[in-house]
Amino acid sequence: AIQLLSLRNEVIDQSLFDTRFGTLQGKIAGVTMALHLMETVSLGQISSSRKKELLESAATRVNVGGIIGYATCSPHIAETKMQVNDFLKRHPNFNRLKIGPRGDNDGDLQLWTFRDGTDCMYLSLLERQS
């Protein structure tokens, strides 16, 4: 069941947030955070198919020249690069943008606990061309 936040401009106490949505473990960004705030699910239940649905939905809402920031706190290739590569095959009107000097060969950014001292996180920027 979906629970939309009804907080408006209110300050929420951390314990109230934890009671309503569960304790957040580590840093959560982008799509995963949006899902966590919209639904009462554990991070393990957010599947690759759900992430595909979210990317598809975003593709219909971004204007030409707009950018989708696909971010996830997963180190798993099925939830990171494979999602983006599959999306780009289905949407040739989008291009992957390069993320500065820390980006990999594709231009994406993957943070690793052992190297970066953070939770594992992934970011890909996808710009709509037409």
pLDDT digits (tens, 9 = 90+) for 56-72: 999 999 999 999 999 98
Kindly state the average pLDDT of the residues 108-116. Answer: 90
54 or 43, which is more confident: 54
Clarify whether 120 is annotated catalytic.
no
Cβ contact 69:54 at 8 Å: no
Gap between the Cα atoms of 65 and 129, Å rounded = 6
The helix-helix angle for 81-90 and 48-61 (nearest 10°) equals 40
50: pLDDT confidence band, cut at 50, 70 and 90? Answer: confident
Whether CATH 3.40.50.2300 fits 46-128:
no
Q: Which of 73, 109, 111, 125 is catalytic?
A: 73
Judge whether residue 84 has pLDDT over 60: yes
The three-class DSSP label of residue 22 is coil
Claim: this prediction has a pTM higher than 0.85: no
C-alpha to C-alpha distance for 79 and 29, rounded to whole angstroms: 14
